[in-house]
Amino acid sequence: MIHAMPELPEVEVTRRSFAERIAGAQVLSVRLGAPLRWPLGCRPTRLIGRTVGLVVRRGKYLWLPLASDQPGAGGGLLLHLGMSGSLAFTETAALAPAGKHDHFDLVTSRGVLRLTDPRRFGAVVWSPALDARPASTLLSRLGAEPFDAALTPATFHTALHQRRVAVKQALLAGDIVVGAGNIYACEALFAAGIDPRVRCCKLSRPRAERLLASVRATLARALELGGSSLRDFRDAHGVDGAYQLEARVYGRAGQLCERCGAVVRRIVQAQRSTFFCPHCQKR
């Protein structure tokens, strides 16, 4: 079975599925389950009475601002879905009792936001501001957002040209551009016709430009289809994504390439499965 962690499209789809529904709600109580990757960082009672603001995304993190009536008492929660986490937002009356893998409930006047994470690599962390520690530390190494106009073909090529690692590894690192997780990196490289083993410093400007366009097109299509559901992912409504049904190479090792008829290969790079067509994707 192929396992895939929630990536940028899944996190953004999740955000869109509950952000408007929870905005303006008042926090009534907080329930903590088993410890997650990092501690909450404050007493749960500190969150009670606060008002939820507009949820935003940075990379694979969600920022849930929590305003207070007291001057200077801002802050919020930085959430991460880890390897297998998902968020569900539901009306209190319809909420099932917390199960073994339900590790955080934010009970509000509009419903309950629940983090479910079987592997417990996810996180819910309090921070006094998005640009203050610990949030600023956790976000400091993130690269540009893929649709940011400041990320141009020239800046993308320059950043790649400074790396000697394989281009697939550079995409997964997320410090040049965020969002191209394993599924989407494989698919974007296929669309761009680039072998995943090519070293970044060997990519020409035209090939780098083509790769950036492919990353953007791949992520845009994934957002349109609600992300990918390979095992655990559901949005906050409980709805599956459908992008995996359109994957051209990911998870298709041993099958024929839909473009050229060659056999799709699987290799391992940095302990992650890479799928590619050895005929369509050139070194």
Q: Please give the positions annotated as active site.
A: 6-7, 60, 272
Structure tokens at 268: 């391992």
CA angle 99/115/31 to nearest 5° reads 70
- Rounded CA-CA distance 36/260 in Å is 45
Residue ranges of alpha helices (H) inside the chain are 8-22, 135-139, 153-161, 167-173, 182-192, 205-224
Q: Directed axis angle between helix 205-224 and helix 8-22, to 10°? A: 40
- Rounded CA-CA distance 274/47 in Å is 42
Contact at 8 Å (CB) between 198 and 227? no
